[in-house]
A and B are shown apart, each in its own frame.
Chain A
Amino acid sequence: MSKKTLSGVNSVATNISGWVYLLPALLFLIAFMVYPLIDVFIYSFEEGYNSASQSSFGIGLYNYAYILRDPYFLKAVKNTFILVIITVPISTVLSLLISLGLNSIKALKNMFQTIFFLPYVTNTLAVGLVFMILFQKTPYTDGLVNLIIGKFGISPIDFIDGPYWAKMLVLSVYVIWIVMPFKILILTSALASVPDVYYQSARIDGTSSWRMFWRITLPMISPMIVYLVITGFIGAFKAYSDAVAIFGIDLNAAGMNTIVGYVYDMLYGDGGGYPSYASAAAIVLFAIVLTITVINLIVSRKATDIT
């Protein structure tokens, strides 16, 4: 408000010094974020690009046509979508339940909070290794998980190198497990920030706890849930290291590749050296994430109109 009352000269001067302060950050952003982004866009339309001679045959949609016909890419898209659809809702709901539990206990609350936060500070690959050992079936042992489900009369399954859905199950459990700590952290603080008087008032009015949850708690923390769902979608679409941690780097052979994994393969993998295809795949991923995020925002804006 007060800025507007400053004289024109003064405000230009303020602007210039502001830009000077921003310059270092902006330079780095432009060099390492904006320029590569534009470059990827251009790459994705250059047909027959040769990285040695830095030349191409022309501009067109061939790269897109190629990857959309490539069974590995289609498999990667399918895997990614399945992973997203399974992990985002389950991890969010589970985190909410755990946060509600944490919020309603007093004793040992800090201890449980620390325990639930541990996966967040644990290395992805280390976690992957542990998951692999838990689920793997080798000539020497069926693995811990198989031992447990064996008690219920289910015959051993090779989760790491077996049927597709077994592998997808391991990957999903792994991803859910790794993304939950952050969600729990955010949701517990969101729950704690709902003023107590709302509950007191509801109590006097004889509101059941079920109704309190649906009519008060959930709407009050919905902005945080929306935030977690959106970042959850984005994060799950970009999954790659998770799959590598469990199935090794040859994801195509395991049939568990993801879109980001495909991009990596096209750049550096055995069949690498195709920056144009990689760029096209990256742009497709970008388009998917953008679309989903926009849909998310539109849906949530209607649901969380608090003010």
Chain B
Amino acid sequence: MNVKIENLTKVFPGRDKKSAGVTAVKDFNLELPDGKLVCLLGPSGCGKSTLLYMICGLESPTEGKIYFGDQDVTDIPSEKRGVGLVFQNYALYPHLTVKQIIKFPLENLKGEEKLSKEEMDKRALEAAKLVQIDGLMDRKPGYMSGGQQQRVAIARAIVKRPKVLLMDEPLSNLDARLRLHTREEIRRIQKDTGITTIFVTHDQEEAMSISDLIVVMKDGVLHQIGKPQDVYDDPVNLFVAEFLGTPEINVFEGKVKDGGLYIGEQRVLEVKGVDDQDVWIGVRPEGFEVDPDGKFTCELSGINIMGRDITVLSKHDAAKAVIRSIVSAETKVDTEAKTINLNLKPYKTFIFSKETEERIRFT
């Protein structure tokens, strides 16, 4: 089921008439293709959970429309939309066993959809097998680990065979190792079932690693949508460039003059087709080459050898933070030197307008 969102806006009213409301989601337009795993990515408080809750029907939008396929579901109550939601803290009923929890949504079905007891058991077991918790059917949530609880929550969400599966930061309560494992599991389950899945996270690494499509948002506004690698390689503005990638992109204050890109007084790169102006320069950590004749000279402050590659730490007055460049372990770096010369790879270097922070493309 593809999901289409048109001009969606959500304003939470203020506490009283005097205080203004809070706009959580602003004029959002989006089309999510069928059967894909889509990540809503953004910093905390950017409205991504609100957007998810509106798709799910727990919040009603102030303006705009939501379509599942051709059907307008904006005014359809949550239970009739055919969605499954995995909550951040799982929301498993503590007094029920895993089996009862997974069967719970099935027992609500009425009329034509009503299932026999055997059918319910069968479906519950199917869902449990899919998330590999079929050995724990008689346990209660209190006796399970975070990862197991997570799987139960997913099983409950998919047992009704929803058209759209929604996940609200499902990994944030797990420890680092389990998170890695579980996100691969989510990927597998999504592939196995083929359900259109919308996944909310503030962890860009998580988003990059499992999604087919990333939707980057901030302050309720859509910034960029695309395949993870495309968004990483081709950010539309400074925020997206900074938000994606670990370590973070290196950002410098600089300017464009006479077809050259300047950091301080150093002409570091030839850029064509850009008017002279002040800019932000973003260079991915892997966007540097160590070169004795490099055009960009900065103060060397440290080197971390990580085995497979080397992280060179350096300083420059125009840089927003410590400059991190990751180079291959075979690179010869003089650790005793005071300064280091670098070259910038054009396709790993992005320039942004100083005023609007929008991307400026060069050739």
Contact = CB atoms under 8 A, between A and B. Distances in A.
A209 to B, nearest CB: 12
A207 B91 CA distance: 15
A206 interface: yes
> Which of B56, B83, B91, B142 gathers the greatest number of chain A CB atoms within 10 Å?
B91
B78 A306 contact: no
B221 interface: no
A204 B108 contact: no
B332 interface: no
A195 B95 contact: no
Contacts of A304: 95
B91 A208 contact: no
Interface string A196-239: 01101111111110010001100110100000000000000000
Interface residues of A, number: 22
Nearest to A198: B91
B68 to A, nearest CB: 14
B93 interface: yes
Interface in B54-69: 56-58
B87 A200 contact: yes
Given A201-B87, A307-B140, A206 B80 contact: yes
A203 B87 contact: no
A303 to B, nearest CB: 10
A215 B56 contact: no
A305 interface: yes
Interface string B134-160: 000000101100000000000010001
A197 to B, nearest CB: 4
Contacts of B108: 205-208, 211
Contacts of B79: 203-207
B84 interface: yes
A204 B58 contact: yes
A205 B95 contact: no
A197 B89 contact: yes
Contacts of A219: 93, 95
B94 A205 contact: no
B104 interface: yes
Interface string B79-115: 1100111010101011110000000110011000000
A201 B94 contact: no
Contacts, number: 62
A216 B95 CA distance: 8
B95 A306 contact: yes
A306 B91 contact: no
Given A204-B56, A205-B160, A307-B140, A220 B89 contact: no
Given A215-B104, A307-B140, A203 B91 contact: no
A216 B108 CA distance: 13
B58 A198 contact: no
A208 B140 CA distance: 23
Contacts of B109: 206
Contacts of A204: 56-58, 78-79, 83-85
A203 B58 contact: yes
> Which of B56, B80, B105, B142 gathers the greatest number of chain A CB atoms within 10 Å?
B105
Interface string A69-93: 0000000000000000000000000
A203 to B, nearest CB: 6
A202 B105 CA distance: 8
A307 B142 contact: yes
A195 B89 CA distance: 11
Contacts of A198: 91, 93
B87 A197 contact: yes
Interface of A: 195, 197-198, 200-208, 211, 215-216, 219-220, 222, 304-307
28 contacts: A197-B87, A198-B91, A200-B58, A200-B85, A200-B87, A201-B87, A203-B79, A204-B56, A204-B58, A205-B79, A205-B104, A205-B108, A206-B79, A206-B80, A207-B79, A208-B108, A211-B108, A215-B93, A215-B104, A216-B93, A219-B93, A219-B95, A222-B95, A305-B95, A306-B142, A307-B140, A307-B142, A307-B143
Given A205-B79, A306-B95, A307-B140, 6 more contacts: A198-B93, A204-B83, A206-B109, A207-B108, A216-B93, A219-B93
